[in-house]
Amino acid sequence: MGRPGRDGAGTLASRRFRPRRAAAVALLALVLPLSACGQAPWAGATTGTPAPATSAAPVAPPVSNDLSGGSTQRTLTAGAVSATVNYWSTLRMDRWTATAVKPVSLSMVTTVTPNDGQKVYLQRATMTAIPANATQTFAPLDPQVDQATVSPGYLVLAPYSYSNTFNVGAVPAEATYVTIQFDFDYLVQTTPTSTEFAKQTASDTLTVAIAAQNAG
């Protein structure tokens, strides 16, 4: 009779312990997911306020200068006429200031194709200077014209040549360069003995930088 009583007590104790153990396991299962759902302490941390982005100030491109080497040579074509023109200035480039009188000299010689013996004459040469800077083009200076004083013009067929000097006057103080446009009007004999002529025109441009005015 005593053995069955002990078995009954053991069963009752086991029944009393199991609910407590089940509750502890359930509580642990509830705590673990909650502790895993929080944000990591370092997730919201920052290393400091980023510096605002700054953009570099725009830099004006350098001004090209066709006379920076002292002189330049061009070959121009006008119909049957081919002209070789040399340009230079007797004024140093660092003295090409806005207020200075800036000389541009040229020398020209032509050939004609086909060369049947007809001559080529320069009837007129025109120079127009247009000052400008990176953002603005100013009004052109008054054109300078060399009109031939002999008829039909100046003989420029090789070996004869034409030379002249034009002057670029004062330009606005804001100008950083000047575009110099040349127009050449030629008269070409239709035949070697003819008094009739064909007119041909050639154009060319030079860009020359304006030097900063010396404060001294």
Band (pLDDT 50/70/90 cuts) for residue 18 is: low
Q: What is the pLDDT of residues 136-176, one digit of tens each?
A: 999 999 999 999 999 999 999 999 999 999 999 999 999 99
Distances from the Cα of 90 to the Cα of 70, 84, 167, 188, 191, angstroms: 9, 20, 11, 32, 40
Residue with tokens 């929080």: 38
Polymer length of the chain: 216
Q: For residues 155 and 137, give the distance between their C-alpha atoms in angstroms, rounded to a whole number.
A: 36
Tell me how far the alpha carbon of residue 202 is from its chain's centroid. 27
Q: Which of 24-28, 114-118, 177-181 is predicted with the least confidence, judged by mean pLDDT?
A: 24-28
According to DSSP H, which parts of the chain are helical? 2-36
Mean pLDDT of 28-33: 49
Q: In 3D, which of 72, 84, 150, 74 has the Cα closest to residue 111?
A: 84
Distances from the Cα of 167 to the Cα of 91, 126, 191, angstroms: 11, 12, 37
This prediction has a pTM of: 0.71
Share of the chain above pLDDT 70, in %: 70
User: What are the two backbone dihedrals, phi and then psi, of residue 203, each rounded to the nearest 5 degrees?
Assistant: -130, 150
Residue with tokens 């002189």: 71
Return the SS3 of 87.
strand
- According to the model, what pLDDT value does residue 44 have? 53
Q: In 3D, which of 164, 166, 174, 165 has the Cα closest to residue 97?
A: 174
Return the SS3 of 33.
helix
Q: What is the pLDDT of residues 189-209, one digit of tens each?
A: 999 999 999 999 999 999 999
- For residue 47, pLDDT over 90 is answered with no
- For residue 59, pLDDT over 60 is answered with no
Contact between residue 114 and residue 105 where contact means Cβ atoms under 8 Å apart: no
Mean pLDDT of 107-130: 97
Contact between residue 98 and residue 144 where contact means Cβ atoms under 8 Å apart: no
- According to the model, what pLDDT value does residue 42 have? 47
- For residue 29, pLDDT over 70 is answered with no
Band (pLDDT 50/70/90 cuts) for residue 63 is: confident
